[in-house]
Amino acid sequence: MLNVENLSISFGTDEGLITPVQGVSFSVEAGKTLGLVGESGSGKSITTKALMRLLPGNARLSPETRITYRAKNGKEIQVEKIKPHSRALRSLRGGEIGMIFQEPMASFSPVYSVGNQMVEAIRLHRGCGKREARELAVEMLQKVGISNAAVRIDQYPHEMSGGMRQRAMIALALSAGPALLIADEPTTALDVTIQAQVLDLMRELQRDLGMAMIFITHDLGVIAQIADEVAVMYLGTIVERGATRDVIRDPKHPYTQGLLKAIPSLETLHDRLSPVPGDIPSPTERPSGCPFHTRCPDAINNICNIKTPVELTPAPGRAVRCWLHDEAQSGRSAA
């Protein structure tokens, strides 16, 4: 339902043109969840903001970018061509693609009650009357597990606890009935027990409503629980893509391998952790060739630091950007 090809985003800054996202391609199938993993600065959030045309004014999409979205009525929309401030864009945001953010306090207005904000969204996207919208809002709040929803709906965001606010945020995003939900680190700010509740809720809602989801997180544990497919990002490129299970069981890219090894485990106590050596380069000094070569333990001299790897298919349904999997370049077996 969503197909992104060659998405590149540049920003004109005081320090020159920086390109935090370069040549990102992925697709999301209806009813499935795509997990987008990466560390801070890897361009996960910017990528999804581009899908909703929420980028700041100094951002430029490259001319090769194609974002194709199949709307609920079956029409295909070229998202990158929609005019700003147009009716089409307004219906896309919220109505077609919903979004939840990491910090729910920042996405609710503090001066309106939760119900007020939900009713506004519902009326805008569903075109129904006030009373009907309110009933729908209460129903939505009940669905996300807020007890006493008829009373809670008139509370202000600050009167709710963190977990409840995040639920209300989910209810708000879902109340417009989106076909695709983008969840940007929705559980990162929550405590583990509340995170478990919210993850459970999102899985359940997805099953019931049949919507597709893009789930952004830096926590591979969360990905393993919620995503059907996963795309691993590093410095603005997707370095590896595939079914979640395959990627975690048998990571092909050295970065994915390093990430998985660096996660502290509950099973082996007091072990030394294995960090990925080095620091994440800043976006202004993006390495030449493969962006990961400065930290890669298997980098091939004179190849990885010069040539940008192309996307290879080491196994069916998998994609990886790494010269190690190219026989001609690495001189060894691709397996």
Partner 1 sequence: MTTGNVLIEVRDLEVHFPIQKKKLFSSEVQTLRAVDGVSFNINRGETVGLVGESGSGKTTVGRAILRAIDPTYGDVFFHTIDDDINVANSDGEELRKFRQHMNMVFSEGPVQLSSLAAERLRLFRSKMSLVFQDPYSSLNPRMTVRDIIAEPLIASGMMKDRDAIDARVREIASRCKLNLEHLRRFPHAFSGGQRQRICIARALVSKPDFVVCDESVSALDVSIQAEIVNLLKDLQEEMGVAFLFIAHDLSVVAQMSHSVAVMYVGKFVEYGPTEKLFFNPKHPYTHALLSAIPQADPDAEFNPIKLTGEIPNPLDAPEGCRFNTRCPFANDRCATKAPEWRQLEPEHYVACHYSETFDFSRR
Binding positions for partner 1, rule: CB under 8 A: 39-40, 161-164, 191-197, 199-200, 218-225, 244-245, 248-249, 258-260, 262-266, 269-277, 279-280, 282
Shortest approach of partner 1 to residue 296 CB, angstroms? 12
Shortest approach of partner 1 to residue 152 CB, angstroms? 12
b/e map 281-308, b = 16+ CB within 10 Å: eebeeeeebbbbbbbbeebbeebbeebe
Q: How far apart are the first and last CA of the chain?
A: 32
Decide: 22 and 4 in contact? Cβ < 8 Å: no
Within 10 A of 10 (CB to CB), how many other CB atoms are there?
Answer: 16
> Whose Cβ is closer to partner 1: residue 78's or residue 274's?
274
Shortest approach of partner 1 to residue 196 CB, angstroms? 4
> Whose Cβ is closer to partner 1: residue 94's or residue 254's?
254
Shortest approach of partner 1 to residue 190 CB, angstroms? 9
> Whose Cβ is closer to partner 1: residue 58's or residue 161's?
161
Shortest approach of partner 1 to residue 138 CB, angstroms? 20
If we measure between CA atoms, which residue out of 138, 136, 140 comes closest to residue 150?
138
b/e map 196-224, b = 16+ CB within 10 Å: ebbbebbeebbeeeebbbbbbbbebebbe
> Whose Cβ is closer to partner 1: residue 181's or residue 276's?
276
> Whose Cβ is closer to partner 1: residue 193's or residue 302's?
193
What span, in angstroms and rounded, lies between the C-alpha atoms of 66 and 283? 23
Shortest approach of partner 1 to residue 48 CB, angstroms? 19
> Whose Cβ is closer to partner 1: residue 129's or residue 277's?
277
Shortest approach of partner 1 to residue 294 CB, angstroms? 13
> Whose Cβ is closer to partner 1: residue 269's or residue 328's?
269
* Secondary structure element (H or E) that encloses residue 184, with its range: strand 180-184
What span, in angstroms and rounded, lies between the C-alpha atoms of 249 and 264? 17
**φ and ψ of 234, to 5 deg:** -140, 125
